[in-house]
Structure 1
Amino acid sequence: MKLLLDQGLPLSAAALLRDAGINTIHVGEIGMSEAEDSDIIQRARDERRVVATLDADFHTLLALDIAVNPSVIRIRVERLRAKALTDLLLTVVAECLEDLEQGAAITVDSSRIRVRRLPLVHDV
């Protein structure tokens, strides 16, 4: 499993996740702090990383593109410190590993984890 942490998530969480055995980079570590969401998605796709973000726009972009990758974990719990975010992401990865590997849009809030497989399409 490889993660790409978006801006808004603690930079220090990347090191904590690496220490826990998860190959993780933060956009701030690779000069993408101000990159467009579409560029971050492409970077994740190219490197086969899962994006972790606070931003709902990532799920929207996946839906509009009828994308099958990359997987995106949207965190809907604000003000998480690095340790709490690390613990949360380790839980999500452990519980949703197969979905993340196959392509999923995951939403995490304080009470549940919602998994939708990619591509995100609606029946008409």
Structure 2
Amino acid sequence: MKLLFDQNLSRKLVTRLADIFPDSSHVQFEGMTEADDSDIWEFAKVQEFCIVTQDADFAERSRLNGSPPKVLWLRCGNAPTSRVEARLRSGAETIQEFMRNASLDCLEIY
């Protein structure tokens, strides 16, 4: 399962979570630091990434367009990277189920 971390999240998450989410990336690593949401959406769709973001815009786009790509919307506010990592680790099983379920487009994680 490939996650694409949005600009509003630390790029350190890629290496910190590589054991449970291998092949993940960050928009910065993909040369998309200045890309707009539409470009990130299309990139994630083509490359089969799930977008991980704190940005409500991607969740809204998911509601309007469906998936792919799927969206993990982190609703934990401006949390430290360690807390974001912990939430993704504790929700790993739920995230895997979400990724397998073709009828779900967006998963909110609090």
| Class of the TM-score when normalised by the shorter of the 2 chains | 0.7 to 0.9
1:32: how far off?
0.8
Give how far 1:3 is off: 0.3
- Where structure 2 has 5 or more consecutive residues not aligned to the other structure, the ranges are none
TM-score calculated relative to the size of structure 2:
0.85
In the other structure, the counterpart of 1:108 is: 109
1:29 is paired with a residue whose SS is: coil
**How many residues of Structure 1 are paired with residues of Structure 2 in the alignment?**
107
Q: TM-score, normalised by structure 1?
A: 0.76
Q: CA deviation at 1:15?
A: 1.3
> Root-mean-square deviation (CA), in Å?
1.6
Give % identity: 28
Provide the C-alpha distance between the structure 2 equivalents of 1:68 and 1:10, rounded to a whole number of angstroms: 24
Cα pair 1:9 1:54 within 8 Å, conserved:
yes
Query: Cα deviation per residue 1:2-33 (whole Å; 9 max; x = unaligned)?
Result: 10000110111111112x24121011111111
Partner of 1:92: 91
* 4+ residue runs over 3 A deviation: none
- Deviation of 1:89 after TM superposition, in Å, equals 1.5
Residue 28 of structure 2 aligns to a residue whose secondary structure is: helix
Deviation at 1:80, TM superposition (A): 2.3
Q: Which amino acid aligns with 2:36?
A: E
Conservation of the 8 A alpha-carbon contact between 2:53 and 2:71: yes
Q: CA deviation at 1:79?
A: 2.5
Larger radius of gyration: 1
The structure with more strand, counted as a fraction of residues: 1
Aligned partners of 2:84, 2:29: CA distance in 1, in Å?
A: 17
The letter of the residue matching 1:63 is R
Which structure 1 residue ranges, 5 or more long, are not aligned?
A: 110-124
Alpha-carbon contact 1:77-1:108 (below 8 Å) kept: yes
Report how far residue 92 of structure 1 moved: 2.6
Q: One-letter code of the match for 2:29? A: E
Cα distance in 2 for residues equivalent to 1:31 and 1:9: 15
Q: Deviation string for 1:23-46 (max 9, x for gaps)? A: 210111111112111111111111
